[in-house]
Amino acid sequence: MDIGALPTRKQSVRQNIDAFASLSPSQKIRVLEKQRKILAYLKSLKEVKSQK
Amino acid sequence: MKSQGKGEPDPIDLIRRFNKEHIGYLLIGSMALSMHDAPFGSADWDFWVSSEDRVEVYDIIERFGLQGKHKKTENRPLDTFTDGEFFKVDVFFVKAFSNKKKGITIDFSGAYVRAVIKKDPVGDFFVRVPILEDLVTMLKIVETPRSQHLKHIEYLEALLHKKKKNKL
């Protein structure tokens, strides 16, 4: 598949921006805080092995 | 990591279910880049999944409570699922990403073999992430990258160079 031919990808980003914009200030804070915690957790993971 | 709010979907739980059901998946996109110390924020969760596991993934996501416009009978290259709010999951089922004009191709089976496993040192959670080189290749495949996109590639290539230098 040619990823450049995926119009839905662009739409996906647009929908994401629209969804965030529609949130109330308190919801935005909650979403961002949750996102921050998840990212911090993912970054705390350790590389255990490569599948090579 | 515990779920962070009753009723809210937790992406960590979704990955845990993929692991439990032995789904051939890779976490890609901004989240995967963040795990390689590339600070590109996004709320999207992008997965590249073996096309053989399409039906199982639909079932898992349905049980997880996300909704999408997928049809099991259609072999769509990308399906988007959402909780109706801000949690959005894009699942790519393609065997390879390619850009014929640029002469770049990356196939799932190769990326899967090269991938690294990142694990919780005190728990059982783990996630499969492509190596940084493969994530950069995926970015380069985009036909008409935006200026921000090009800056990301420039940053990542500098990061790759630094990592290689540190290994020497």
Domain boundaries, chain B: 11-167
Would the pLDDT of A2 be above 80? no
Residue A8's SS3 state is helix
Do B4 and A6 count as a contact with CB atoms less than 8 A apart? no
Mean pLDDT by 10 residues, chain B (168 residues): 54 95 95 85 86 93 87 80 83 93 94 96 94 92 79 88 81
**Of B72, B38, B46, B75, the residue nearest B58 (C-alpha):** B72
Residues A5-39: pLDDT tens digits?
444 555 656 666 676 777 788 888 888 888 888 98
Among B86, B106, B107, B163, the strongest candidate for a mutation testing the A interface, having the largest count of A CBs within 10 A, is B86
Q: Look at chain A and report how many structural domains it folds into.
A: 1
Within a domain: residue A2? no
Residue type, A1: M
Residues of A in Cβ contact (< 8 Å) with B69: none
Interface predicted TM-score of the whole assembly (ipTM), two decimals: 0.80
Within a domain: residue A4? no
Residues of B in Cβ contact (< 8 Å) with A30: 5
Chain B: closest CA distance from residue A11 (Å): 11
For residues B153 and B136, what is the distance between their CA atoms, to the nearest angstrom? 7
Nearest to B113 among A47, A49, A52 (CB): A52
Contact B86, A19 (CB under 8 A): yes
Within a domain: residue A33? yes
Model confidence, pTM: 0.84
Chain B: closest CA distance from residue A20 (Å): 7
Write out the two tokens for B118: 């990142």
- At the topology level, CATH places domain B11-167 in Beta Polymerase; domain 2 (3.30.460)
Do A46 and B119 count as a contact with CB atoms less than 8 A apart? yes
Contact B42, A13 (CB under 8 A): no
Q: How confident is the model at residue A50 (pLDDT cuts 50, 70, 90)?
A: low
Nearest to B35 among A1, A6, A43 (CB): A43
Range of the domain at A33: 12-38
B98: β partners: A2, B105
For residues B117 and B128, what is the distance between their CA atoms, to the nearest angstrom? 5
Mapped to the 3 state alphabet, what secondary structure does chain B carry? CCCCCCCCCCHHHHHHHHHHCCCCEEEEHHHHHHHCCCCCCCCEEEEEECHHHHHHHHHHHHHHCCEECCCCCCCCCEEEEECCCCCEEEEECCCEEEECCCCEEEEHHHHHHHCEEEECCCCCCEEEECCHHHHHHHHHHCCCCCHHHHHHHHHHHHHHHHHHHHHC
